[in-house]
Structure formats: structure tokens, C-alpha cells
Chain A
Amino acid sequence: GAVVSQHPSRVICKSGTSVKIECRSLDFQATTMFWYRQFPKQSLMLMATSNEGSKATYEQGVEKDKFLINHASLTLSTLTVTSAHPEDSSFYICSARDPGTNTGELFFGEGSRLTVL
């Protein structure tokens, strides 16, 4: 199946700094990618839909200025957590659909665990 890769898998940063997480579709082009956040022992919550060449669509309650999303190419979307604070510590997961399959299946990255000290 299609492969989605995230980097870094783990990142630790100091409070107040910014962190960038990359999401790449390795063998297909994705005009749309989805960013999820997962708290411990809880479900995945959709944060935003990343659209190639245009602005991301954010879910209600997600701060646009806090979580900057850029989808500069058909294979790369980035999530930047700006001025991170301990409450931003979480597991961030990106996903995308392979348009060649037309099954609706979402392919997930391995996730990025952010710890803000």
C-alpha cells in the first residue's frame, strides 16, 4: 500500500520554541493531507486539512496561529507548533489518501511525539 512518512518521530523542546513536523507521501501525490492529534488513551482528533497550494482548513477550536500548516508540494505537508507550551505535548499524526486507489482508505504516518518541557 501507499506509504506516508513523518519526521521527526520524537522531539523534545523547551517551552516557547517552535517545532516543525514533516509529513511526506513517498509513492503517491497527495493534494490533501490530514493532521490529527492523539492524547494518551484517547481517540484521534482531526486538527486540520492541509491543501496543496492553498490555505489549510482548521477544525473548530484549533488555533491557526498556533499550528501553522504548509502544503508546499504534492508530497510534503508541514505542521509547525509555534511558541510551544507543555499543554501542546501530544502525539501528532498525519495521513493522506492515495488518489490512485479510490477506496477512501487513509494511509497514516508513524506519528510524531512532541514533548514540551
Chain B
Amino acid sequence: AQRVTQPEKLLSVFKGAPVELKCNYSYSGSPELFWYVQYSRQRLQLLLRHISRESIKGFTADLNKGETSFHLKKPFAQEEDSAMYYCALSGRGYSTLTFGKGTMLLVSP
């Protein structure tokens, strides 16, 4: 069974502070990991995926197979980063996507 754990429901930081949203997963094979974001009153959208190793809006995430983690990081948070962030896992072949419970990020001025 595949499982995604996001231990923090809410993360509140000040503008300019570093941010790390934690994600741990459980999967027996080689997973595909994603971060999705939902801004207020908008639909869920892809932020980044581990396979592309890209940085989107200053966010990065590294897959650590030893720790089974895929934490999302940004060195300097901005107010517009305030949103709900979901870590998600898919098995090989892009089967069904399993979501974590999400972490609400609030960035205060």
C-alpha cells in the first residue's frame, strides 16, 4: 500500500524566512513524487515533480530514498506563497495518485 504523510497541518512563517514543508512516503517500489498547490479559490495545480529536478517559484524538493522523504523547501518565503500544499505519490506507470493530508502555508508580512 502507498501512503503519504504530511505531519504539519499548518506552517506559519514571516516573509523572507526559510520554509520547509515535510513529506514522508511509504511505497514498496520506485515512486514518482509530486507537490501540488492550491491557492485560495483556485483549482489544484502541479507545483513540481521529483523526476524533473526543477525549481518552480523558488521551491525545490529532493527525493531522499533512504529517509523516504520529499520535503519542499524555499529559502525566502513570499506572501504569495500562502496556499495549501499537497505531497502526492504515484507508482510506476503513473497509476493512481495518493495525496497527503496537506499543509497550509501562511506567510505573514
A residues at B contact (CB < 8 Å): 34, 41-44, 46, 49, 93, 95, 97, 103-106, 108-111
Q: Is the CB–CB distance between B49 and A43 below 8 Å?
A: no
How many A-B residue pairs lie within 8 Å, measured between CB atoms? Answer: 42
Residues of chain A within 8 A of B97, CB atoms compared? 34, 46, 95, 106
Interface size class of B (residues with CB under 8 A): 20 to 34
Contact among A42, A103, A108, A110 for B49, CB-based, below 8 A: A103
Q: Which residues of chain B have C-beta atoms less than 8 A from A34's C-beta?
A: 96-97
Evaluate contact between B43 and A110: CB separation under 8 angstroms. yes
Whether B102 contacts A104 by the Cβ 8 Å rule is no
Q: Is the CB of B43 within 8 A of A108?
A: yes
Interface string of B66-109 (1 = CB under 8 A from A): 00000000000000000000100010001011111110000000
Cβ contacts B49-64/A at 8 Å (1 or 0 each)? 1011000000000000
Give every chain A residue within 8 A of B94 (Cβ-Cβ). Answer: 97, 104
Which one, B96, B99, B100, contacts A49 given CB within 8 A?
Answer: B96
Which among A42, A43, A111 is the interface contact of B43 at CB below 8 angstroms? A111
Contact A106 B100 (CB under 8 A): no
Other 17 A-B pairs with CB < 8 A, given A43-B86, A104-B51, A104-B94: A34-B96, A34-B97, A42-B101, A43-B100, A44-B99, A46-B98, A93-B43, A95-B97, A97-B94, A103-B52, A104-B34, A105-B34, A105-B49, A106-B46, A106-B97, A108-B45, A110-B43
Residue of B94, B98, B100 with most chain A CB atoms under a 10 A cut-off: B94
Contact status B101-A104, CB under 8 Å: no
Q: In whole angstroms, how far apart are the Cα atoms of A98 and B43 in the complex?
A: 17
B43 and A46 form a contact (CB under 8 A): no
Q: A34-B96, A44-B86, A97-B94 given as contacts; is B46 within 8 A of A105 (CB)?
A: yes
